C-alpha cells in the first residue's frame, strides 16, 4: 500500500541474502520482524521485535534465517534509498 504520506509492505528475505548498507534521506522506517532472525546495526533482532531506522541512519541488515518483515515507511518516497560504503 502506497500513499504520498506512507507505504506499508511485507517483505521476505532469504537466509544469507545480501543487502548493501544504505540510508534514507527523507523517510523513517518502522519495522516489525514477523518471522526469522536478523542483525541490523550490530543488534540481533528476533521474531516479534520492532526496530526503527530513522532518516539518515545506516541500515546494514544480515539475515541469519529466512525473514518476513512488516515495514511502514513515512513519508512514502520510493526512490529514497542511498547506498553507503
Per-residue confidence of the chain (85 residues) as pLDDT tens digits? Answer: 889 899 999 999 999 999 999 999 999 999 999 999 999 999 999 999 999 999 999 999 999 999 999 999 999 988 899 999 8
Alpha helix segments (H runs only) across 1-85: none
Alpha carbons 53 and 74: distance in angstroms, whole number: 11
The strands making up 62-63's β-sheet, listed across from edge to edge, are: 43-46, 37-40, 62-63
At 78 the pLDDT is: 83
Tell me the Cα Rg of the chain: 12
Q: Is 32 exposed, middle or buried (0-12, 13-18, 19+ CB in 10 A)?
A: middle
Amino acid at each position: 500500500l502506497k500513499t504520498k504520506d506512507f507505504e506499508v509492505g511485507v517483505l521476505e528475505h532469504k537466509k544469507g541474502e545480501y543487502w548493501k548498507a544504505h540510508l534514507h534521506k527523507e523517510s523513517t522506517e518502522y519495522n516489525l520482524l514477523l518471522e526469522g532472525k536478523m542483525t541490523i546495526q550490530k543488534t540481533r533482532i528476533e521474531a516479534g521485535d520492532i526496530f526503527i531506522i530513522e532518516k539518515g541512519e545506516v541500515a546494514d541488515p544480515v539475515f541469519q534465517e529466512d525473514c518476513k518483515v512488516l515495514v511502514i515507511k513515512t513519508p512514502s518516497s520510493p526512490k529514497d534509498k542511498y547506498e553507503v560504503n
